[in-house]
A and B are shown apart, each in its own frame.
Chain A
Amino acid sequence: MSKTPRYFNEMFENGKLRPPYKGLEGWARDMPVDLRTMKQNEAEALFRRIGITFAVYGEGGDPDRLIPFDMFPRVFTDTEWRKLERGVTQRARALNAFLTDVYGRGEIIRAGRVPANLVYCNEAFERAVVGIRPPRDVYSHIVGIDIVRTGPDEFYVLEDNCRTPSGVSYMLENREIMMRMFPHLFQENRIAPVDSYPRQLKRTLASVAPPKCEGEPVIVILTPGSMNSAYYEHSFLADMMGMELVEGQDLFVDGDFVWMKTTEGPQKVDVIYRRIDDAFLDPLCFRPDSMLGVPGLMNVYRSGGVTLASAPGAGVADDKAIYTFVPEMVRFYLGEEPLLQNVPTWQCAKADDCAYVLEHLAELVVKEVHGSGGYGMLVGPKSSAGQIEAFRSKIEENPANYIAQPTLALSACPTFVEEGLAPRHVDLRPYCLVGQDVVLVPGGLTRVALTEGSLVVNSSQGGGVKDTWVLAD
Chain B
Amino acid sequence: MLSRTAENLFWIARYMERAETTARLLEVGAHNALLPNTGGGFRNEWESILRASGTAGAFAAKYGDPVQRNVESHMFFDTDNPSSIASCIRAARENARIVRTALTSQVWDALNMTYQELKELSRTERSKLQLRDLTDWTVRAAALVRGAIAASQLRNDGYRFLFLGYALERADATARLLDVKYYVLLPAVSYVGSGLDNYQWTTLLRALSSDRAFNWAYGGDVTATKIAEFLILNAQCPRSLITCTGSALEQLNALAVEYGRTTPAVTLAEDLHGELKRARIEEVFDEGLHEFLSRFIDSTASLAGAIHQSYLTGRQQ
Contacts and interface: CB of A to CB of B under 8 A. Distances in A.
A11 to B, nearest CB: 35
Given A48-B116, A51-B112, A261 B315 contact: yes
B94 A261 contact: no
B27 to A, nearest CB: 29
B3 A261 contact: yes
Contacts of B312: 263
Interface in A52-110: none
Contacts of B94: 226
B97 A226 contact: yes
Interface stretch (A239-247, A322-330, A440-448): A239-247
In this complex, which of B3, B101, B109 has the most chain A Cβ atoms within 10 angstroms of its Cβ?
B101
Give the interface residue-count category, chain A: 20 to 34
Contacts of B314: 250, 260-263, 265-266
Contact of B4 (A49, A238, A239, A247): A247
A165 B90 CA distance: 30
A249 B261 CA distance: 25
Given A48-B116, A49-B113, A244-B2, A263 B101 contact: no
Interface string B201-230: 000000000000000000000000000000
A153 interface: no
B116 to A, nearest CB: 7
Contacts, number: 68
A235 interface: yes
Interface in B1-16: 1-6
B46 interface: no
Nearest to A245: B101
Contact of A261 (B4, B100, B112): B4
A24 B316 CA distance: 59
Contact of A265 (B5, B100, B101, B316): B316
Contacts of A261: 2-4, 313-315
B317 interface: yes
B164 to A, nearest CB: 11
B3 A262 contact: yes
B98 interface: yes
Interface in A224-241: 226, 231, 235-236, 238-239
Nearest to B116: A48
B182 interface: no
Contacts of A265: 314-317
Interface in A185-216: none
Given A266-B315, A266-B316, A260 B2 contact: yes
5 contacts: A235-B97, A250-B2, A262-B1, A263-B157, A266-B316
Interface of B: 1-6, 94, 97-98, 100-101, 105, 108-109, 112-113, 116, 157, 161, 255, 259, 261, 311-317
4 nearest CB pairs, A to B? A261-B314, A239-B101, A263-B311, A226-B98
